Amino acid sequence: MAADREDTVYDFQTIFLRAALHWSPITALVVLALGLLCTLQGFRFARALCALTCAVAGFLGGAAVAQRLDSPPLLPALSVGVTLGVLTVLRFRLGLLLSSTVVFASLGQYLAVRIGLRPDHYWAGLLLGAAVGMSLFYLHRRTVPILVTSLEGAALLILGFLGLARAIAPSLAQTFVAWAADVSAMVPVLITMLVVLGYSVQANLQQGDMQTGAGRGWNSVEAA
């Protein structure tokens, strides 16, 4: 029973899907629009999106550490989140490394849950994902903004769609959540399809920007 409760705590897919069922249509539209932006145009806003990623990760990490130390979590969480967000804006390469590590570590932990590992083994997926994220940064840095924003965009698109479906066709939304719980590979496969789509679109756009010289601006890794 305790293991089941711990498994539920780390099942972020179920947590976020159920949360999306309670969003207002406006919130769902905003999330859907942000998902489209990340998936199809993310590399052009990579600095801002990575800053947001690092800020959220810092906020959650600061809150978790503060709670373990039995201190009020809000101030440490805000301090760490704002610091990492500003640091990413000022030092884009460092922020990109942090974003890649955080996103792929989260992906590794997520997949560990989906394939049915024991809760006390989730750290293996977390560490493996973090290692992949760091390796990609050093091996092929130019593709990291595309991969990171495509992954984030895919997740946001699914949540935004679910939130809108809840307002328009509630039975469809409930069926989606039920199937996602029963078929462990359903959402990962859907995310993979959206990431492949986003990567293809962004890679072509990035190549075009490089040929025209438009890719040397504020969001360029080489210019950082």
Write the DSSP assignment of 47-103 as a string of letters. Answer: HHHHHHHHHHHHHHHHHHHHHHTTS-SHHHHHHHHHHHHHHHHHSHHHHHHHHHHHH
Question: Would 222 be classed as within a structural domain?
Answer: no
Question: Would 179 be classed as within a structural domain?
Answer: yes
Tokens of 95: 């922020």
Tokens of 217: 């601006």
CB contact at 8 A, 219 and 44: yes
pLDDT at 219: 57
Number of domains in the chain: 1
pLDDT at 36: 96
Tokens of 80: 């760490």
pLDDT at 81: 92
pLDDT at 121: 83
Q: How far apart are CA 117 and CA 140, in angstroms?
A: 30
- Judged by DSSP in three states, 26 sits in helix
Q: What are phi and psi of 219, to 5 degrees?
A: -95, 5
Domain interval for residue 171: 2-216
Question: Would 42 be classed as within a structural domain?
Answer: yes
Kindly tell me the sign of the dihedral angle through the C-alpha atoms of 167, 168, 170, 172: negative
pLDDT at 5: 43
Which residues in the chain show pLDDT less than 70?
Answer: 1-10, 210-224
Q: How many whole angstroms from its chain centre is CA 117?
A: 21
Question: Would 16 be classed as within a structural domain?
Answer: yes
pTM greater than 0.75: yes
Q: How far apart are CA 139 and CA 136, in angstroms?
A: 5
Question: Would 21 be classed as within a structural domain?
Answer: yes
Question: Would 221 be classed as within a structural domain?
Answer: no
pLDDT at 215: 55
Question: Would 223 be classed as within a structural domain?
Answer: no
